[in-house]
Amino acid sequence: QVQLVESGGGLVQPGGSLRLSCTASGFTFDDHAMGWFRQAPGEEREGVACIDDRGRRKHYEGSVSGRFTISRDNDKNTVYLQMNSLKPEDTAVYYCATDPICMGSIIRPQPAYHNWGQGTQVTVSS
């Protein structure tokens, strides 16, 4: 079955950087678009970035555009999120997902999507 394992989170000061990884198994990775989502305490999960199956098309939520970069390595079944110039409001648990709905800066999971991993905690604080 589909398994997604996120890693790379941690505590970082404002202005710092982190690189998140999501390693996938249980499906043909390079047949699927991938996305990153995040959920802050008390907030709904929101889309952050998405990338098509070949890594050619990328979309970003407005507040992260220019600071975050999504990429993928299909040989390693892994999607990455490079996060630069981090802000306290980026603090959240970050998740990856397959086949997100991407329309410009609007990034959403498929309806009733349930293949979430455990996520990785990102905390931006001085």
Indicate whether 87 pLDDT > 90.
yes
Percent of the chain predicted with pLDDT > 70: 100
Q: What is the pLDDT of residue 104?
A: 84
Cα distances (Å, whole numbers) of residue 61 to 26, 45, 58, 64, 77: 28, 13, 10, 6, 23
* 56 CB-near residues (< 8 Å, 6+ apart): none
Distance in angstroms (rounded) separating the CA atoms of residues 46 and 54: 23
- Going by pLDDT thresholds of 50, 70 and 90, the confidence category of residue 79 is very high
pLDDT tens for residues 2-51? 999 999 999 999 999 999 999 999 999 999 999 999 999 999 999 999 99
Residues 100 and 79: beta-carbon distance below 8 Å: no
Residues 20 and 9: beta-carbon distance below 8 Å: yes
Q: What is the pLDDT of residue 105?
A: 86
